[in-house]
Amino acid sequence: MHGGNTSSQWSPRSAGGGGVSLAARRLNRAIQITPPLDRDRYAEEWRYDMSSAAELGISPWDVVRGATRVAWRLRVRLWGRNLAGAEGGGRAIGAWALVVAILPVPLLIGGPILLLVVPAAMVVALVLAHEGPWRVVSVVMLGSALLWLACMVVFWWLWGVGFDATDANQPLPAVMRWYEPSLLVGFGAFIAFWVAFVVKVIQIARVGAET
């Protein structure tokens, strides 16, 4: 009876060799992600939860996962506060300068990097921005992301069509008239997505400040 009871709960022994120390290292990473102003408060709470995990019969990894989610949420809120100027004019200028500098980079690089990294970044942004009610800004983000993806598919398809026609010394087909518009519309959707993301982050920061 006793053995069957304890086997249904987590214990340090059931985690295997080094399980607790690995979870502790991951928790320390979450603490480092947490903004400095919030770090002491949450670090004390999370470490207490970690030390009490065995008594409560839960896995320390549950503590780690919860701490990581909260840490990234607080980091996004801090970014929003920087963009909104709540952390001072200098930080606001620096944050906006970074946003403006980063926006055109993926489109200038192009190629496989554009096709792999940018969609992944958009997915991460959508996940980070999905907090609270599903509002207009979130819909704009999702719509502009889908529009950008569709334009990029059309753009690269037309690029291949044009390349094949040129290689065969044939005139460009009529569909090539959409080559440049697909790029321009995609670029506009890309900018709209990240502008909406910035607005969403500022909204999240304001909600965090009020609470």
- Mean pLDDT value across residues 148-163: 89
Distance CA 67, CA 92 (A): 27
Q: Which helix (DSSP H) or strand (DSSP E) does residue 33 occupy?
A: helix 19-33
Lowest mean pLDDT across 5-19, 134-148, 189-203: 5-19
Please answer whether residues 12 and 20 qualify as being in contact, where contact means their C-beta atoms are separated by less than 8 angstroms.
yes
Give the predicted TM-score (pTM) of the model: 0.51
Q: Is the pLDDT of residue 22 over 90?
A: no
What is the chain's Cα-based Rg? 24
Interval 47-106: pLDDT, tens: 988 888 878 788 888 889 999 999 988 888 787 777 766 666 677 778 778 877 776 666
Q: Which of 80, 106, 101 is nearest to 190 (CA)?
A: 106
DSSP state, residue 172: P
Q: Which of 81, 57, 61 is nearest to 69 (CA)?
A: 61
| Between 159 and 100, the higher pLDDT residue | 159
Mean pLDDT across the chain: 76
Q: Is the pLDDT of residue 15 over 60?
A: no
Structure tokens at 174: 């009529």
Interval 175-203: pLDDT, tens: 889 989 999 999 999 888 888 887 777 77
Residues 6+ apart with CB under 8 A from 126: 138, 141, 142, 145
